[in-house]
Chain A
Amino acid sequence: MGSCVSSTEAATTNNPGASAFGSASLEAPRFSRARAAFRRLRRNRLATAGLFVLLAAVFVAIFAPVIAPFNPRAISVMNALNGPNSTNLMGTDNLGRDLFSRVLYGIRMSIMIAVISIGVASLIGVVLGLISGFFGGRTDEIIMRGMDILYAFPDLLLALALIATFGTGLTGLIVAIAIGRVPGFARITRATVLSVRENEYVEAARTIGMRDSRIILRHILPNGIAPIIVMMSISLALAILVEASLSFLGLGIQPPTPSLGGLLKEALGFMETAPWMAIFPGLTIALIIFSLNLLGDGLRDVLDPNLK
């Protein structure tokens, strides 16, 4: 599980959204915009609450093995279907496993998958959007028609189709979730590039003979980062939802590894006798998605009022 921790951390630090917050404490002048944005975000109480819940979730995701009171896979038939009590905070499941520990590990799984898949999706989407917007013409036409085609798949359907082909498994799951989110990033990046491209400073950079790649990275991308960050936070919510849906259908994370969607699937057979099995994992998913939506909304107000 050690590798999971490091990959989660790596993906988190690669995430421009995270670095915008991380950089808020830095004193260097080039981060002043991020700092100002962070200060405005703090004034939005709901968004700040969302941010705190998410930080707590990320903390849990990283330290689940330390926090969890029990081994999430340890079966104890004697203790099956116990309601919430002081030993088992969220009760136990039909095999006597501690639900609280399983939920903690479920959060870890959900967050890891969401962060990696959105990291991949944003990288691919932003690169395609930059190319499409900057070069225009036939390249633009081909890339954007491809994105339109991907967009015509309802989220979950595309993921299902990819899983049917590549099979269930962590990599397949991440790819399945990531591909569906690429068009969103490509479209929003392209739109920003188009609006920034005609500015005089881009013209000036071109006149002094700057290379295209340098113009894109130095002058265009930094101006388009705000909508991309907002998109990330909304996409993370969707990614968590799609992962939970897939695991709920039995096509995502496979048992005995706990995942939030998988826990709900297991709960369905015990709705009358053990409703807590369904209530806690569902509440956890809802809370994480709720917080991401609050944060996304707050970020949109702070970073890009025009988007609203």
Chain B
Amino acid sequence: MIAYLIRRLLHSIVVVAGVATIAFALLHFIPGDPVDAILGVESTPAAREALRHDLGLDRPLLTQYVAWWGEVLRGDLGESVMTGQSVSQLIRQRLPTTIPLAVLSMSIALAIAVPAGILSAIKRNTWVDGLVSMIAFAGLSLPGFWLGALLILGFSVHWRIFPPGGYVSVFQDPIDGLRHLVLPAIALGTTFAAVLTRMIRSSLLEVLGKDYIRTARAKGQVERRILIRHALRNALIPAVTIIGVQAGFLLSGALVIEQIFSLPGIGRLTVQAVFDRDFPLLQGCIIVIALIFVVANLITDLIYVYLDPRISYQ
């Protein structure tokens, strides 16, 4: 077990280090002069020299790389080219928006998918199953940003139930904060709900075909009890594994959803960095997002191993 943990951790570190290296390399892959690309060709020579120095481009590549790692490991992600603010501070300011959004959309997805998946499995091959599967399939195909636009159209423009966008911190005003997060969380969580519903359905069907379920039936257990005591617990284990993978999709979706709903989260910060060609900021966002993704996957793997004792640690 310990050996597995160490190996898994080392693997995660290698992956994050690789991501960070790609992030570092992005600036150097720019065709032509990166300073031209960031400031435009009409900038003054003094400004260009200053930026070149700030980005460390006047030093040899290897020196830059080593120095950059030194800073990253100390938690210093540099300064934004546009605003001069510290990148780590900018990201820290944005995370309190994105994290509640991600948590809320995961909760909504679970609240829909668990009952829907169970219903679909126990009513297998009936019209109920067909309907749930069709809705799940449609949910899988809806682009989140389009769903977001439709939700604004219905619930903000037409019925005026929820605000069409904007941001109130859930930590300062929980109720108003949540009202601002509901529509974006639905738009973001729909795909996740769809994937999860399908997963729970097929995993529950597989478990219901197992010998121990037949044994439980044979000794006269009530169907509901079989479902809850014997089947569900085992069927939900595989569903846990996709939560980690889905964390990546949520972060990916947040890049677009935060834009539509004008939420000042890390997704919007990243997109702004791309528009401004603000490379230190973009590098910082990439490292933080990849780190969240890798850690989420690591935790999921560990939970999986904990939940299912049959998994070997090899």
Residues of A within 8 A of B (CB): 145-146, 148-149, 152-157, 160-167, 237, 241, 244-245, 248-251, 264, 267-268, 271-272, 275, 278-279, 282, 285-287, 289-290, 293-294, 297, 308
Chain A residue contacts of B282, Cβ below 8 A = 161, 164
CB of A152 within 8 A of CB of B294, answer yes
22 A-B residue contacts at CB 8 Å?
A: A145-B14, A148-B11, A149-B14, A152-B15, A152-B19, A154-B252, A154-B255, A154-B293, A155-B252, A157-B251, A157-B255, A161-B22, A161-B26, A161-B282, A164-B26, A165-B27, A245-B256, A248-B145, A248-B256, A272-B157, A282-B150, A286-B143
Which B residue sits closest to A240, measured CB to CB?
Answer: B143
Which A residue sits closest to B285, measured CB to CB?
Answer: A157
Number of B residues, CB within 8 Å of A: 50
Q: A161-B22, A278-B146 are in contact. List 18 more A-B contacts (CB 8 A).
A: A148-B15, A152-B15, A153-B19, A153-B293, A154-B248, A154-B249, A161-B23, A163-B274, A164-B26, A164-B274, A164-B279, A167-B31, A264-B145, A264-B146, A289-B141, A290-B140, A294-B137, A297-B137
CA distance A278 to B149 in the complex (A): 8
CA distance A250 to B259 in the complex (A): 11
CB of A282 within 8 A of CB of B146, answer yes
Tally of A-B Cβ pairs under 8 angstroms: 132
CA distance A10 to B172 in the complex (A): 57
- Report which residue of B29, B142, B145 has the largest number of chain A beta carbons within 10 angstroms of its beta carbon: B145
CB distance from A48 to the nearest CB of B (A): 15
B152 interface residue (CB < 8 Å to A): yes
CB of B23 within 8 A of CB of A149, answer no
Chain B residue contacts of A268, Cβ below 8 A = 149, 260
CB of B19 within 8 A of CB of A149, answer yes
CB of B30 within 8 A of CB of A165, answer yes
Chain B residue contacts of A167, Cβ below 8 A = 31, 37
CB distance from A120 to the nearest CB of B (A): 18
CB distance from A126 to the nearest CB of B (A): 22
Which B residue sits closest to A289, measured CB to CB?
Answer: B141
CB of A145 within 8 A of CB of B18, answer yes
